[in-house]
Amino acid sequence: MKLIVFFNGWGMNNFKFSLENEWEFKYVNYPYKYKCEKTDLNYEKIVFIGWSFGVYYLNKFLEENPFYQRYESIAINGTPDMLGERGIPEKMLKYTLQNLSEESLKMFYVNMGISDDKKNYLFNGKKDVSELKAELSDFIDNYMKRKNYIKKAIISKNDRIIKFRNQKKYFIEKGSLIYEIDGEHFIFDEKNFLSRLVDVLDEIS
């Protein structure tokens, strides 16, 4: 069996995202504390994946735990420089924090590419607005620029949350291998993405 350690996006609980039977998942949600168990090292392969804000926290984890830098790391629609010109402008994040409500959250889901008919299927429970505000405030208040440890990046061309060109420019500058794909910010229910991800994983020796 093979293991994916998945650093999730802002405000997310586990959702129904799965690959072939040979891959098992461990989700790392806020506050993004991952501690490898001895049994994890028994897997045939370990791959670290970050999505959206989870890319920043995955990169932070790799910086603070050099042992894991030997494993493959993949960013999906996010960069380690999440706050700023290679991610989301600070002004926009602070505006989101100040104005977050149930109504603005609905629009956020739409901009991610998640329609109402997908929500119940995709999400295991829902965090309330106060929890989401606490997570975003924590991110803004404790954000630090860090060296890049992400080896590969999958970027959606139609991402409305983190601009495609911002992500691409960042990973070109850092020398990471880039895979471009059609789709929006939330890409995990798209068959073409899942097929592409399997191809990327198969390339990893």
The per-residue pLDDT for range 126-136, each reduced to its tens digit, is 778 999 999 99
Share of the chain above pLDDT 90, in %: 59
Mean pLDDT of the chain, nearest integer: 88
Query: What's the confidence (pLDDT) of residue 120?
Result: 57
19 near 6, Cβ under 8 Å? no
7-26: pLDDT as tens digits: 999 988 877 666 766 888 89
Instruction: Indicate the residue type of 187.
Output: I
Query: What's the confidence (pLDDT) of residue 118?
Result: 62
The CA distance from 149 to 174, in Å, is 9
pLDDT at 188 exceeding the cut of 70: yes
Q: Residue written as tokens 């405000």?
A: 11
The CA distance from 161 to 26, in Å, is 25
Residue 179, SS3 per DSSP: strand
Query: What's the confidence (pLDDT) of residue 187?
Result: 86
Instruction: Choose which CATH entry (3.40.1390.30, 3.20.20.140, 3.30.70.2740, 3.40.50.1820) describes domain 2-203.
Output: 3.40.50.1820
Query: What's the confidence (pLDDT) of residue 77?
Result: 96
114-167: pLDDT as tens digits: 876 666 555 555 778 999 999 999 999 999 999 999 999 999 999 999 999 999
Query: What's the confidence (pLDDT) of residue 174?
Result: 96
Residue 60, SS3 per DSSP: helix
| 70 closest CA partner among 55, 48, 51, 40 | 48
Q: pTM of this prediction?
A: 0.92
Structure tokens at 98: 């100040």
Task: Break the chain into its structural domains and give their ranges.
Answer: 2-203
> β-pairing, 23-28 with 2-7?
parallel
Q: For residues 31-40, give the mean pLDDT.
A: 85
Q: For residues 69-85, give the mean pLDDT.
A: 94
